[in-house]
């Protein structure tokens, strides 16, 4: 793996984070769909990130929340000769950002040869930078991190994500109720990327989602696995970052219990 990939990705994440901070309190908001927001800051941050990544690696692919997700094929993803693909969420936690709730992040992952290779999640407010490179462990700034050792659902602090416009009779709320009954407690924090990083750092014991997109979770998923955690599809199969319906947990026994509870 080219060490320059990680260096440039960190620069790009920092640039995106600075854009988000600079736009706070002075952006306009529109709806992509009911209750699904996008701001000028999303677009500007993605442009800054994309410029840095593709100016350094012009032959690489780019999939961002605001563009490019319709240009990826299964053949492209499986081909080890295809150039790496960057998967970018310039603002994960848009609703939090719009309401000035200080829990949002920039998420950048690199996918190559059928695997996630690099993951970076940059919290602009706390200046915490979670990152991982396949086979090299997970880090918070310059310190190694690892998941908790929690292996019982009734002792676990969990987080979850709901889709925009979740209905009262939805399966998502059914899963939430089941987890509330089985776990120590459940949180809905508003940023999928940070949820995964908090699992990696031992702040949460587990996180599940059925309504997120690849750019929301690709970086965080690698960070969890490199921190010793478990992540599987709700079916129990191997996690697929391009179809992310999953449970991520600190330990394998906890993953088994959470999947039985919510799947």
Query: What CATH number has the domain spanning 3-144?
Result: 3.30.540.10
| Residue positions forming the annotated binding site for Mg(2+) | 65, 89, 91-92, 216
pLDDT at 66: 66
Report the pLDDT value the prediction gives residue 68, as an integer from 0 to 100. Answer: 58
- Distance of alpha carbon 207 from alpha carbon 86, whole angstroms: 24
**Largest Cα–Cα distance of the chain, in whole Å?**
50
Residue ranges of domains in the chain: 3-144, 153-262
* 153-262 under CATH 3.40.309.10, yes or no: no
| Helix locations, 25-140, DSSP H | 40-56, 74-78, 94-98
Q: H or E element: which one contains 28?
A: none
> Each residue of 50-85: pLDDT tens digit?
999 999 999 999 999 866 555 666 667 767 788 999
pTM over 0.75: yes
Averaged pLDDT, 40-48 = 91
Separation of alpha carbons 18 and 13, rounded Å: 9
């Amino acid at each position: 793996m080219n060490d320059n990939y990680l260096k440039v990705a960190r620069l790009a994440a920092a640039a995106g984070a600075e854009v988000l901070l600079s736009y706070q309190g002075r952006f306009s908001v529109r709806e992509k769909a009911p209750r699904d927001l996008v701001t000028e800051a999303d677009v500007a941050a993605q442009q800054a990130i994309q410029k840095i990544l593709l100016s350094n690696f012009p032959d690489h692919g780019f999939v961002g929340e605001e563009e490019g997700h319709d240009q990826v094929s299964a053949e492209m993803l499986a081909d080890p000769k295809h150039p790496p693909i960057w998967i970018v969420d310039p603002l994960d936690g848009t609703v939090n950002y719009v309401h000035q709730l200080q829990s949002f992040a920039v998420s950048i992952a690199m996918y190559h040869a059928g695997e996630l290779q690099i993951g970076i999640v940059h919290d602009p407010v706390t200046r915490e930078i979670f990152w991982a490179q396949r086979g090299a462990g997970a880090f918070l700034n310059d310190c190694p991190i690892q998941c908790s050792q929690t292996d019982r659902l009734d002792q676990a602090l969990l987080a979850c994500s709901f889709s925009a416009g979740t209905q009262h009779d939805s399966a998502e709320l059914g899963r939430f109720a089941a987890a509330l009954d089985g776990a120590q407690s459940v949180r809905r924090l508003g940023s999928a990327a940070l949820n995964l990083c908090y699992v990696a750092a031992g702040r949460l014991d587990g996180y599940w989602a059925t309504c997120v997109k690849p750019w929301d979770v690709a970086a965080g998923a690698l960070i969890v696995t490199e921190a010793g955690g478990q992540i599987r599809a709700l079916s129990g199969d191997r996690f697929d970052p391009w179809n992310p319906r999953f449970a991520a947990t600190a330990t394998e026994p906890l993953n088994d219990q959470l999947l039985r509870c919510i799947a």
